Amino acid sequence: FPADRTTEIGQLISSYLGREKNLEDHTIHLLFSANRWEHVPMMKEKLHQGVTVVVDRYAFSGVAFTSAKGNFCLDWCKQPDVGLPKPDLILFLQLNPEAAAERGNFGHERYETSSFQEKVLQSFYCLMEDKTLNWKMVDASKSIEDLHREIKAIAKETMQEVQNKPLGELWK
């Protein structure tokens, strides 16, 4: 997320991330959450049709980034996303900030500084303490092929485990 930068909310977020527009920190956090909520009807429809939904940078990313700013607690950051569809699996692709900075396009968006990314990482570690969620940490420094194989195996196993389970609600 932002999943769709063509919606009005998505466009606001995109202009903020690209440093074209400044928004107050509470406002941008709530806009990211609103962008997720915009997609809930479609996500639920797909899930009820038996389609596996893969989401990049879901609520956890928003909570980690906002709480890393220092003047926000995790609990406040979670509140706007309470009730979103609960993921069956959360893959955390672990890569140290130095290696991430060496990848293409790093530094083009607002939050892409090594010092801030380190704070975000600490926030993610706090989120991973929630044992009601299925977090799996994957070493992202591997080759793309090895990373693909590992993620595919974890995803297949999870899909088999949750096949007949009802859709949960996040942080409820």
Residue 72 has what pLDDT? Answer: 96
Q: Which amino acid is at 137?
A: M
Q: Is 63 among the domain residues?
A: yes
In this prediction, residue 4 has a pLDDT band, given cuts at 50, 70 and 90, of low
- CA 48-90-66 angle, 5° bins: 110
Q: Which amino acid is at 97?
A: P
CA-closest candidate to residue 65, choices 19, 22, 111, 2: 111
* pTM of the entire predicted model: 0.88
What tokens were used for 67? 């709480």
Q: Into how many domains does the chain fold?
A: 1
Residue 99 has what pLDDT? Answer: 76
Q: Is 60 among the domain residues?
A: yes
Q: Is 39 among the domain residues?
A: no
Q: Is the pLDDT of residue 105 over 80?
A: no
Q: What is the CATH number of the domain that holds 64?
A: 3.40.50.300
Structural domain containing residue 76: 50-170
Q: Is the pLDDT of residue 12 over 60?
A: yes
CB environment 80-116: b (16+ within 10 A), e (fewer): bbeebbbbbbbbbeebebeebeeeeeeeeeeeeeeee
Q: Is 82 among the domain residues?
A: yes
Residue 34 has what pLDDT? Answer: 96
Sign of CA dihedral 52, 56, 120, 146: positive
Q: Is 124 among the domain residues?
A: yes
Q: Is 92 among the domain residues?
A: yes
